[in-house]
Structure 1
Amino acid sequence: MKALVFTGPSVVELREVPEPVVGAGEVLVHVAASGICGSELHGVRTPGFRVPPLIMGHEFTGHTDDGQAVIVNPILACGTCDLCAQGQPNICRNRQILGIHRPGGFAERVAVPATAVIPLPDGVGRTAAALIEPAANAVHAWRLAGHPAGARVGVIGAGAIGLTCLHTALAGKAASVHVADRSPERLAIAARLGATTGPELTGEYDVVFDAVGAAATHEQSLTHLRPGGVTVWLGLAAADPGFDATDLVRTEKRVLGSFAYGDADFSAAIDLVGGWDLSWTDTYSLDQGADIFTTLMNGHTTPVKALLIP
């Protein structure tokens, strides 16, 4: 079968690979669409967790052999550690992630644990289904922020995670949402979806979501946060925190890290995405995968979200 394979630093290639072996307790998923994530672009440029050769892809939907449309939750928690017992499978001490620790969805077919497969309700199209995983990240971040209905919300970054944070905040009855990004094209999309926009945050916010994760955006998320407010960091661009710790103390601002999602967040995302404007996504054949992946990896800001269609 065909698969897009990470073969070395900054290199992905379309290859013929063996059919997946379906083990005990596993299901074969025929992939319908798989999204390219910003973390994968970064991971291919600077290999670390992802070790080549690897079929990446953790945002994918498809169908089983019997034709059931499904979405796959790529986080494989152990279910037995203390954090799993506390309902935090996303930070399981022994977690594995499809597309990182074992083959993912940049392929025609993939074998996954049956426990990771969730049947899709009728009427959820291929594009919406492929956006459930990034949407679940936004739902989780919104929950960590306290479901702040009526809040003034700032979002840094108008990529897929930033736009799903915008969608989630509007669905959660935020009073206003301002999206900051350096790309005029991405800002135009955010404005169309209902945000005010600009190259940086302006004014003061009750909640800020940093979907970039650079030192400068960390600093910006706190500079424009009201005293006592909360900023939720989802982006993973850099390790440098970039903020004034004394200001954090004196103003009782809170910084929360947000990684992935729990089962309830994933279920909520399934219910939400069908009603969203997802016209900011673009589809490409798997044969085009290496080209569009490399284009995005080299810094192009369009498309905002690329879905690979086997």
Structure 2
Amino acid sequence: MRAYAVKLFCEPISEIEVANPQPKGTEVVIDVTRCGVCHSDLHLQEGFYDLGGGKKLSLADRGVTPPVVLGHEVLGRLVAKGPDAPVSDDMIGKTFVVYPWLGCGTCEICQRGEENLCAKPCSIGVHRAGGYAEQCLVPHPRYLVDVTGIDPTLAATYACSGLTAFSALKKINIALDRDWLLILGVGGVGLSGLEIARGLGYKNIAVADIDPAKRELALASGASLVVDPRDSDALATLQAKTGGIAAAIDFVGAHATAEFGIAAIRKAGTYVVVGLFGGDITLSIPLLVLRAINLRGSYVGNLGELKELIDLVKQGRVRAMPVEAVPMAQANAALDRLRAGKVKGRLVLERA
């Protein structure tokens, strides 16, 4: 079958031919019809994360070795199963989104349903072949989530951008009707976060983004207030119009956005960083204590959270965000557009 893989870090992905997957044991095969394009794919293509201070985290040192068939926002039809896979006849041919953030499956963390935090990750599209391909092998049907009734191009994005935003939102505890939430960056994941936050009942949402077009999109999507974080009076504007930010979620994860988000939150506020753009944070320990603020990271989400999110979407509580389908053969062009910041919402690769 045809697939698209990173053969060399820092090089365009290549079209390759690989054998069709043959399911064994509990494995199942998904015939891929959609696969989202994520900023994490850019890191996988580059082969490192920027740790700040001139330091880099090599993906090869983390067990990611080319060739890597990219794609972790996988959606498609269930077409085959291994002899031990608990799959009913009516599931064959049905469309599912695939939960990709797999762990070892046996440790205590995996057993309590938090495979995304496993110390031995085996994620689809990272450590095992992903959805930039005609078919994708999944180790067990429990990772398949029914998306009947949801537009398939949109549904694919919930496996990462939607799930990541939803999980981050679950890590804050503020009053939905009166406290202010700040979203830093409204790229694909941040915009998904804005829509999900509105669906969860957040009434007061501020957005910070350096791109005026994205600020306009945020207002059109229901944000109450937008600021350019580069403006010298941006923090003062937030303080004056909100009375203090109760929680900030950073969907960029850069040095500048971290500094802005931490400065923006009020005493005992919460800053959650999601993005992996790169950099570091310098903190004053006395101020950390005196302000009593909470700082935490949030990495994707677990299978239970994906199911919760899909239920919210099916209930009509989460509005659709902008998505654009492009042919899978144009994967390199899609990655280039994403790298250049020329994407409104989310790009999804499509197979006819």
- TM-score when normalising by structure 1: 0.92
Give the conservation status (yes or no) of the 8 Å contact 1:4–1:106. Answer: yes
**What amino acid maps onto 2:214 in structure 1?**
R
Give the conservation status (yes or no) of the 8 Å contact 2:162–2:192. Answer: yes
The alignment status of 1:278 with 2:320, answered yes or no, reads yes
Deviation at 1:239, TM superposition (A): 4.3
Counterpart of 2:68 in structure 1 is 54
The alignment status of 1:157 with 2:149, answered yes or no, reads no
The alignment status of 1:7 with 2:7, answered yes or no, reads yes
Counterpart of 2:347 in structure 1 is 306
| Percent of residue pairs identical | 27
Give the conservation status (yes or no) of the 8 Å contact 1:131–1:273. Answer: no
The alignment status of 1:192 with 2:220, answered yes or no, reads yes
Counterpart of 1:23 in structure 2 is 24
1:174 to 188, 194, 202: 202
Deviation at 1:116, TM superposition (A): 4.7
Q: Deviations over 1:27-63 (max 9, x none)?
A: 1101121111111112312343343211111111111
**What amino acid maps onto 1:32 in structure 2?**
T
Give the conservation status (yes or no) of the 8 Å contact 1:163–1:190. Answer: yes
Deviation at 1:279, TM superposition (A): 4.6
Classify 1:79/1:114 alpha carbon distance in 2 versus 1 (closer, same or farther; 3 Å): closer
**What amino acid maps onto 2:3 in structure 1?**
A
- TM-score when normalising by structure 2: 0.82
SS in 1 for 2:170: helix
Gapped regions of structure 1 (runs ≥ 5): none
Q: State the distance in 1 between where 2:257 and 2:247 align.
A: 14
Q: State the distance in 2 between where 1:207 and 1:83 align.
A: 27
Q: State the distance in 2 between where 1:148 and 1:60 align.
A: 34
**1:82-121 matched pairs, under 5 angstroms:** 82-121=108-147
Q: State the distance in 2 between where 1:289 and 1:46 align.
A: 17
Give the conservation status (yes or no) of the 8 Å contact 1:234–1:259. Answer: yes
Counterpart of 1:295 in structure 2 is 337
**What amino acid maps onto 1:278 in structure 2?**
A
SS in 2 for 1:300: coil
SS in 2 for 1:132: helix
Counterpart of 1:36 in structure 2 is 37
Deviation at 1:181, TM superposition (A): 1.3
1:80 to 106, 115, 125: 106
**What amino acid maps onto 1:187 in structure 2?**
R
Gapped regions of structure 2 (runs ≥ 5): 49-57, 80-91
Give the conservation status (yes or no) of the 8 Å contact 1:212–1:234. Answer: yes
SS in 1 for 2:163: helix
Q: State the distance in 2 between where 1:172 and 1:147 align.
A: 12
Deviation at 1:185, TM superposition (A): 2.3
Counterpart of 1:69 in structure 2 is 95
Calculate the aligned-residue CA RMSD, in Å: 1.9
Classify 1:119/1:216 alpha carbon distance in 2 versus 1 (closer, same or farther; 3 Å): closer
SS in 2 for 1:290: helix
SS in 1 for 2:220: helix
The alignment status of 1:140 with 2:167, answered yes or no, reads yes
Deviation at 1:147, TM superposition (A): 6.2
Give the conservation status (yes or no) of the 8 Å contact 1:296–1:302. Answer: yes
Which of 237-246 and 95-104 deviates more?
237-246
**1:205-224 matched pairs, under 5 angstroms:** 205-224=245-264
Classify 1:146/1:119 alpha carbon distance in 2 versus 1 (closer, same or farther; 3 Å): same
Q: Deviations over 1:205-262 (max 9, x none)?
A: 1010001111111111110001001111111111412443332211001011111112
Deviation at 1:25, TM superposition (A): 1.4
**What amino acid maps onto 1:45 in structure 2?**
E
Q: State the distance in 2 between where 1:60 and 1:216 align.
A: 32
Q: State the distance in 1 between where 2:119 and 2:214 align.
A: 36
Deviation at 1:119, TM superposition (A): 4.0
Q: State the distance in 2 between where 1:301 and 1:186 align.
A: 11
Give the conservation status (yes or no) of the 8 Å contact 2:325–2:347. Answer: yes
Q: State the distance in 2 between where 1:32 and 1:116 align.
A: 20
Classify 1:257/1:88 alpha carbon distance in 2 versus 1 (closer, same or farther; 3 Å): same
Q: What count of residue pairs does the alignment treat as equivalent?
A: 309
The alignment status of 1:122 with 2:175, answered yes or no, reads no
Deviation at 1:85, TM superposition (A): 4.2
Deviation at 1:114, TM superposition (A): 1.9
